[in-house]
Amino acid sequence: MSKLHPFLSILSTSPKHSVSPRSIKPIDLLHRYSQSSPRLQLQQTAAMSINQFQAVQKGGPFRLVQAPLPKPGPNEVCIRPKVVAINAIDYKNLKFGATVSEWPNVLGIEGAGTVESVGQGVTRFKAGDEVFTWLQRSQYNGAFQDVFTANESTVAKKPASLSFEEAASLGITFLTGAATVAAGLRIPLSGFAAKSTDYTSTPPQSILVLGGSSGVGAVAIQLLRAALPSATIISTSSAQHHAHLKSLGATTTLERSAQDNAATIKAATPGGAGVDAIIDAVGAAAKAAAVYDAFKSDGLKLYTLVITGPGVEPPKGFEVSLVGGITVLKKEPTIMQYLTELLESGKYKLPQKVEVVGQGWESVEKGLDKVSSVSGTKLVVKL
């Protein structure tokens, strides 16, 4: 079995942002200018600087630092978040430096707010638009600051019907859930059916989603249901989420303990034959190898694993795909526009309930303490 280092693929795809590490000087700008410049210059400087909530080193602590207002490069959008989301990867970055090579570092990969400025070539957005986004981070370009920079392709217009809290919760789980379906299982999402030849003509008809109550799992369930109306979709989660996952499209919801019992899973498939495909949204199979025995003996045997970090190795003997949010953006660069369309048409439900941890940058730390023990919940912080 070959050793994979999934985080390497994320690092290698990080774009260069116009906010380069060298352009940020974590100094007290207000102090400097108050000594050397007239009042007007002080005001101008304050307007052109922002607060960054930096993690000083692996494990913390955080500090609030002033930095120059970022300027968008070509095809980039600068966004002033009103709400930021807390994700498992933020915790993994802080605790283990998962996708971080240099400290200090500005963490955070999701937010909702207003467009501050747009770069050359940006056509879909203008200053003042209400948006939400996932962003590919670099050392000083994370969501935990007053203004961050995102590539236009990762930004979506916020429907008026959605709060900023709800919008901030949506980006990365949508992209990753869509990646499991469209890139992992090669099932065309309804919005893209005609646009690519890289989809299967024999989609799986019985699919097991491991970790259905995770953000990624809940997105996968509803996109699968939209794409394959008659498929059998089985999901595992704690019982408290079963009704919600059925409302998203799951045919059968099983307790997490079923992951250790292939017979229970097979019993939920047509004729007890087994599943054609597994979407592993949380790396559950690493500790529950029994799920591989739930495959149909003469079926497709597709196993799609979300990149969750080092330690989860895809199994041998199946058609394995490893996916993350970036995977689907490469395949369908306009997918965030599709998300806005789905939301506006009422065809997309919030995958998880949204919990506001608190208000202000200090609440980010509270969210990071909590994020690895959430159940069916997305944590957000208001600014």
Does the CA dihedral 81-83-88-92 come out positive or negative?
positive
Q: Can residue 307 be called a binding residue for ligand NAP (CB under 6 A)?
A: yes
Given the complex with ligand NAP, which of 215 and 314 has the nearer CB atom?
215
Given the complex with ligand NAP, which of 147 and 320 has the nearer CB atom?
320
How far from 112 is each of 20, 137, 331, CA to CA, in Å? 23, 16, 24
Angle at 265 between CA 260 and CA 267, to 5 degrees: 135
Q: How far is the CB of 237 from ligand NAP (least distance, A)?
A: 4
Given the complex with ligand NAP, which of 22 and 287 has the nearer CB atom?
287
Q: How far is the CB of 214 from ligand NAP (least distance, A)?
A: 3
CB-based contact 53:86 (threshold 8 Å):
no
Binding mask 340-379 for ligand NAP (x = CB under 6 A): ----------------------------------xxx---
Among 51, 114, 238, 261, binds ligand NAP (CB under 6 A): 238
Q: How far is the CB of 127 from ligand NAP (least distance, A)?
A: 29
Amino acid at 223: L
Two tokens, residue 365: 């730390």
Whole-angstrom Cα distance, residue 352 to residue 217? Answer: 10
CB-based contact 199:185 (threshold 8 Å):
no
Given the complex with ligand NAP, which of 33 and 132 has the nearer CB atom?
132
Given the complex with ligand NAP, which of 29 and 268 has the nearer CB atom?
268
Q: Can residue 167 be called a binding residue for ligand NAP (CB under 6 A)?
A: no
What's the DSSP call for residue 223? H
Among 55, 187, 281, 383, binds ligand NAP (CB under 6 A): 281
Q: If 0-12 CB within 10 Å is exposed, 13-18 middle and 19+ buried, where does residue 36 land? A: exposed
Whole-angstrom Cα distance, residue 45 to residue 123? Answer: 29
Q: How far is the CB of 151 from ligand NAP (least distance, A)?
A: 15
Whole-angstrom Cα distance, residue 36 to residue 42? Answer: 9
Q: How far is the CB of 45 from ligand NAP (least distance, A)?
A: 37
Q: Applying CB under 6 A, which residues contact ligand NAP? A: 87-89, 172-173, 176, 210-211, 213-216, 236-238, 241, 256, 281-282, 284, 306-308, 324-325, 374-376
